[in-house]
Amino acid sequence: MEVRKPKIKAIPYDEFKDNESLEKIVDELHEGGVNVVTGNLDSLINWGRSNSLWSLTFATSCCGIEFMACGCSRYDFSRFGFEVTRNSPRQADLIMCAGTITHKMAPALKRLYDEMAEPKYVVAVGGCAISGGPFKGSYHVVKGIEEIVPVDVFIPGCPPRPEAILYGMMQLQRKVKVEKFFGGANHKQSKAERELGVSNAELVARRLGDHRRETIVVTDVPQEFVEELKENKEEQA
């Protein structure tokens, strides 16, 4: 059975045909073939997932205002199921990185990304998030968040109009729709995953030499703190 051509309300499939990276994902999935049962279940679950994408409110500058405008009555992206924004990364499906990321903010962005649960996505909104934009020449601006986290959808503009943000989100919907959930995100934990304590997606990224999915683990814990913890434990015991 073939993966179904994803259907997104309001935008016909043909209009997305120019998107090579998504076509590639579809082709890869076709190579191994898809089980009839899990394939159908996949499309059901992906239908649900793609129509309730919850984004983390992560607006650093101008693009954030356009993101707010998207949520309000004129553009109203609740039509597509994007209206729930979460302030905690634990509850969010994607980071909507709307605005410039500076050197001081970069660790915070990485940490927020690490804190999110799989499957997770990143949307880079606006010139600054894509490449540094008008601030490319600055001494304190990250030249595109792709250096820090893997990005799924880029939405160009300075700032992008709400229509563009909607279009970009629909591209993400489409990406979600062609993903494998059974055997992909949802599977029996493999030996490597158990031993290393990392997710499947991260293992794949590591195999490809992409270290952006690796979480930053703090190892240099101050010795005093460790001793204090030990003492507390002993006291309790």
Partner 1 sequence: MKLEFLSFDFEKFAKEMQNLKDKKGFDFLVTIVGEDFGEEGLGCVYILENTNTHERTSVKTIAKVVDGENVIPTVVNLWKGADLLEREVFDFLGIKFLGHPDMRRLFLRNDFKGFPLRKDFQATNEYTLDDDVEPDYGLEYSLDRDGHLQQKENRLFTSDDYVVNIGPQHPSTHGVLRLQTVLNGETVKRVYPHLGYIHRGIEKMWESMTYPQTLALTDRLNYLCAMQQRHALVGVIEEAMEVELTDRIHYIRTIMDELQRLDSHLLFTSCCAQDLGALTAFLYGMRDREHVLNVMEETTGGRLIQNYYRIGGLQDDIDPNFVKNVKELCKYLRPMIKEYMDVFGDNIITHNRLENVGPMSLADCINYGVTGPAGRASGWKNDVRKNHPYDMYDKVDFEQVTFDTCDSMGRYLVHINEMYQSLNIIEQLIDNIPEGDFYVKQKPIIKVPEGQWYFSVEGAAGEFGVYLDSKGDKSPYRMKMRPMGLSLVGALDPMLRGQKIADLVTTGAAIDIVIPDIDR
User: What is the rounded CA–CA span in Å between residue 163 and residue 177?
Assistant: 21
Q: Could you say whether residue 148 binds partner 1 (CB under 8 A)?
A: yes
The DSSP output letter for 10 is T
**Cβ distance to partner 1 smaller for residue 88 or 190:** 88
Q: Could you say whether residue 107 binds partner 1 (CB under 8 A)?
A: yes
> Binding to partner 1 (CB under 8 A): which residues in 187-216?
216
> Binding to partner 1 (CB under 8 A): which residues in 57-86?
57-62, 64-66, 68-69, 72-74
* CB 203, min distance to partner 1, A: 21
* CB 194, min distance to partner 1, A: 27
Using DSSP, state whether 136 is helix, strand or coil: coil
Pair 99, 59: CB distance under 8 Å: yes
Pair 224, 230: CB distance under 8 Å: no
* CB 215, min distance to partner 1, A: 11
**Cβ distance to partner 1 smaller for residue 106 or 205:** 106
Q: Could you say whether residue 158 binds partner 1 (CB under 8 A)?
A: yes
Choose, by CB under 8 A, the member of 26, 84, 106, 185 that binds partner 1: 106
Q: Which residues pair with 155 in a beta bridge?
A: 125
User: What is the rounded CA–CA span in Å between residue 185 and residue 165?
Assistant: 26
User: What is the rounded CA–CA span in Å between residue 111 and residue 212?
Assistant: 11
Q: Could you say whether residue 93 binds partner 1 (CB under 8 A)?
A: no
Closest C-alpha among 126, 117, 171, 159 to residue 145 = 126
CA 53 from centre of chain = 10
The DSSP output letter for 79 is G
**Cβ distance to partner 1 smaller for residue 53 or 141:** 141
How many chain residues bind partner 1 (CB under 8 A)?
A: 41
* CB 8, min distance to partner 1, A: 25
**Cβ distance to partner 1 smaller for residue 39 or 126:** 126
